[in-house]
Amino acid sequence: MPELSYREAVRDALATAMRQDDGVFILGEDIAEMGGSMGVTSGMLEEFGSERVRNTPISEMALAGAAIGAAMQGMRPVAEIMYEDFMTLAAEQVVNQAAKLRYMSGGQLTVPVVFRTQGGAGWSPGAQHAQQLEAWFVHIPGLKVVFASTPEDVRGLLWSSIYDDNPVVFFEHRTLYGIKGEVPEKIEPIPIGKARVHREGEDVTVIATGRLVHESLKAAEEAEKQGVSVEVVDPRTLQPLDEETLVASVKKTNRAVVAHEAVTRMGFGAEVASVIQYQAFDWLDAPIERVGAKFAPLPFAPVMEQFIVPHSDDVLAAIMRTVGRNGD
């Protein structure tokens, strides 16, 4: 199978869809000549032209509204919101319009739009350019929420998102753009709402999203050296959530750790912990552990930034607490 970077996998899904379907187009701030803030759409203007690779004004609400209008008219737009933090500016359109229109029209309208956005720590972007806000949008009925962690998953899930008749908020983590992985020669759609077990284990289940999937796999390797077998599961889609796979894993291992880069308080991991508590309580041999960022704005200074967000050592400590080793 060919090897693609995460960035190339996103671009491949977009470009392939646009080659095959004239109804697919992309829009966003600086996505044309500049290729987007992370270079994901680099080269697409030359292939598809300015009608289908549309630079927009610096107004997230306006570009989100334009994408929603185009989707209601039968197109399949992919709107890039430059930074995840700027989803706050698009929220009125995404939350009050896109998420509600199919329901309020009794199914007469569909809104097949994807809002691609990226965020996360790792390069000192500061407090206004690196928030992880996925829990905000999981809370909104009418939206689907995707957060892929590998090149294969990001390509297959973006394809499925483009061809879903509901609005999808599609999160990407900026530090993953350079990672490489094997992908199928031909794009294989990945169902929205299906988790992936990255590593089989017997003693502890770690349920992780985004960058923390990779940190959890590192932690699992370290735990194995200490005689602890760790299963790592990536939900991939946060809404709808594949509760069956998550619960089945915890019932097998009898212990659970939930890990994400977002702030721990009221984070997505709280909902996962609740699902496990309700559906697998009788199987638990230890309290559910949660790993996330400290409750503070993200500092600019690299050392302070790394202190705030979680890493593999934090996941490993949580794993060890579940097996009664106090994080040692």
pLDDT tens profile 149-159: 999 999 999 99
Give me the CATH topology for the region 3-182: Rossmann fold (3.40.50)
CA–CA separation, 240 and 146 (whole Å): 9
Same fold, 3-182 and 196-322: yes
Q: What pLDDT score does 208 carry?
A: 98
Beta strands 3-5; 24-28: pairing state = unpaired
Distance in angstroms (rounded) separating the CA atoms of residues 290 and 300: 25
Please tell me the predicted confidence (pLDDT) of residue 5: 97
pTM for the model stands at 0.96
Residue (of 142, 146, 173) closest to 159 by Cα position: 146
Strand (E) or helix (H) holding 187: none
pLDDT at res. 97: 97
Using a pLDDT cut of 70, give the percent of the chain over it: 99
CA-closest candidate to residue 138, choices 180, 195, 99: 99
309: tokens are 């967000």
pLDDT band of 123, cuts 50, 70, 90: confident
pLDDT, tens digit, 9 for 90 and up, residues 181-196: 999 999 999 999 999 9
- For the chain, what is the mean pLDDT? 96
How many Å apart are CA 272 and CA 291, to the nearest integer? 12
Task: Categorize the per-residue pLDDT at 325 as very low, low, confident or very high, splitting at 50, 70 and 90.
Answer: confident
Instruction: Determine whether domain 196-322 maps to CATH 3.40.50.920.
Output: yes
pLDDT at 328 over 50: no
Q: Domain ranges for the chain, please list them.
A: 3-182, 196-322
Q: Is the per-residue pLDDT at 178 higher than 80?
A: yes
Q: Which residue of the set 8, 29, 60, 152 is catalytic?
A: 60
CA angle 282, 280, 295 (to 5 degrees): 115
Burial label, 61 (beta-carbon count in 10 A; 0-12, 13-18, 19+): middle
Catalytic member of 8, 29, 80, 129: 129
60 an active-site residue? Answer: yes
Q: What per-residue string of b and e applies to 8-35 under the rule 16 or more CB within 10 Å gives b?
A: bbbbbbbbbbbeeeebbbbbbbebbeeb
Would you call 172 a catalytic residue per the annotation? no
Which residue has tokens 């509760």?
Answer: 243
Q: Report pLDDT digits (tens) over 28-71.
A: 999 999 999 999 999 999 999 999 999 999 999 999 999 999 99
Per-residue pLDDT for 295 more than 90?
Answer: yes
Q: What percent of the chain has pLDDT over 90?
A: 97
Beta strands in the chain (DSSP E): 3-5, 24-28, 53-55, 76-81, 114-119, 144-147, 168-173, 180-182, 196-199, 204-208, 230-234, 237-239, 256-263, 289-293
